[in-house]
């Protein structure tokens, strides 16, 4: 594991032993060097209330939220479609919401995935305890199965929901339908 990733770990406990202190020092030094400033994308944790706010705030007209996890084969298969969308459509805000923390409290897998696949879209990790409570808040039509995608026109409030793997061209159609 690279020290940089450890540094980015948002909720890690501070190391206390001397051995760990050395590591911490190294991490701090690395973080202070200019090369580290170009560290790419990372993923922040988000609670359900903030996610709901994020989904409804009108800062961007069309928002696309894809719910995925590193263990989900079809999610990984469709991810390039979201990457293509966020690169090609600056008018659409794409967010990939990882549900990995539901099964594994350690976000390392998500960080590694983002790094390995060079994910450029915005990634969030939903950090919540009671799926039965939060799934409905994201979309009433969602059973909780992954992958799932919500397309929102924040100006009109129109929302489309898909609970299956998307194919090439589907997102463009859904965006046209929501506009």
Partner 1 sequence: MKHVMLMMVLVAATALTPKPTGYEVGDSVVDFKLKNVDGKMVALADFPNAKGFVVIFDCNTCPYSKVYNARIQELDKKFANQGFPVIAINPNDPSISRGDSFDEMVRIAKAKGYTFPYLIDETQSVAKAFGATNTPHVFVLNKKGSELEVAYIGAIDDNAKEANAVTKRYVEDAVNALLNGQPVTTTKTKAIGCGIKWKNA
Q: Which residues bind partner 1 (CB under 8 A)?
A: 69, 71-74, 99, 102-105, 129-132, 135-136, 141-148, 160-166, 170, 173-174, 176-177
CA distance 110 to 46: 14
160 strand-pairing partners: 151
Mind giving me the DSSP string for 77-117? Answer: HHHHHHHHHHHH-TTEEEEEEE-GGGT-S-THHHHHHHHHT
State in angstroms the smallest separation of the CB of 134 from partner 1.
Answer: 9
What the block records as the tokens of 10 is: 């948002």
- Nearer to partner 1 by C-beta: 29 or 104? 104
What separation, in Å, do the N-terminal and C-terminal C-alpha atoms of the chain show?
44
State in angstroms the smallest separation of the CB of 161 from partner 1.
Answer: 7
- Nearer to partner 1 by C-beta: 53 or 141? 141
* Contact in structure between 15 and 21 (CB atoms under 8 Å): yes
- Nearer to partner 1 by C-beta: 27 or 70? 70
- Nearer to partner 1 by C-beta: 49 or 177? 177
State in angstroms the smallest separation of the CB of 9 from partner 1.
Answer: 19
What the block records as the tokens of 135 is: 């799934």
């Amino acid at each position: 594991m690279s020290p940089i990733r450890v540094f980015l770990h948002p909720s890690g406990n501070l190391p206390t032993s001397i051995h760990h202190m050395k590591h911490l020092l190294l991490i701090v030094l690395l973080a202070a060097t200019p090369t580290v400033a170009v560290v790419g994308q990372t993923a922040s944790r988000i609670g359900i209330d903030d996610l709901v706010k994020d989904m409804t705030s009108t800062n961007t007209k069309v928002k696309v939220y894809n719910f995925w996890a590193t263990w989900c084969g079809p999610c990984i298969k469709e991810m390039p479609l979201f990457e293509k969308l966020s690169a090609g459509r600056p008018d659409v805000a794409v967010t990939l919401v990882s549900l990995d923390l539901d099964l594994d409290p350690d976000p390392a897998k998500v960080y590694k995935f983002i790094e390995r696949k060079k994910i450029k879209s915005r990634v969030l990790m939903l950090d919540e305890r009671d799926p039965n409570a939060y799934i409905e808040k994201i979309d009433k039509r969602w059973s909780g199965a992954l992958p799932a995608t919500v397309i929102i026109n924040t100006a009109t409030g129109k929302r489309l929901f898909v609970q299956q793997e998307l194919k090439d061209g589907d997102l463009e159609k859904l965006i046209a339908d929501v506009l």
